[in-house]
Amino acid sequence: MQTAPSGQSLSTIGAFGYVFLGILLSLIIPILKKLADLPSGAKGPGQPNWFQRAWPIAKPYVLMAVLSLALSVVTLAIAKTSNVPLQYWYQAFLLGYFFDSTIQKFKP
């Protein structure tokens, strides 16, 4: 894991990557929860496979993940302009996770 020397911040690219990973995790958790609730279903010819049953659940989150790339830039810009020192990978990761989790709470 990348850690900045004492008194320094992570590079912008490094912080961006960890913010993005935090945002992706906040999208993956609800997908996994909904997939765990899927019934196992009948097996055999003509029955939908696991992917065919899972895709309708995951599709909105996959599209949201693409938009999360832009959200990563915004989150990092807010942190940088607020003079939030990001010295460790987990600070940037949690920043992305909590920012996106909060945004998801306000969707219509």
pLDDT at site 52: 81
Whether 104 has a pLDDT exceeding 60, the answer reads: yes
For the chain, give the mean pLDDT.
79
Q: What is the mean pLDDT of residues 60-78?
A: 80
The SS3 of residue 1 is coil
Residue 58 has pLDDT above 60, yes or no: yes
Dist. CA 41–CA 63, nearest whole Å: 26
Domain residue extents for the chain: 12-40+50-105
Give the predicted TM-score (pTM) of the model: 0.69
- Which DSSP symbol is given to 21? H
Does the pLDDT of residue 78 top 50, yes or no?
yes
Decide: helix, strand or coil at residue 2: coil
24 — pLDDT class (breaks 50, 70, 90): confident
Output the DSSP codes for 40-100.
----STTS--HHHHHHHHHHHHHHHHHHHHHHHHHHHHHHHHTT----BHHHHHHHHHHHH
pLDDT at 29 over 80: yes
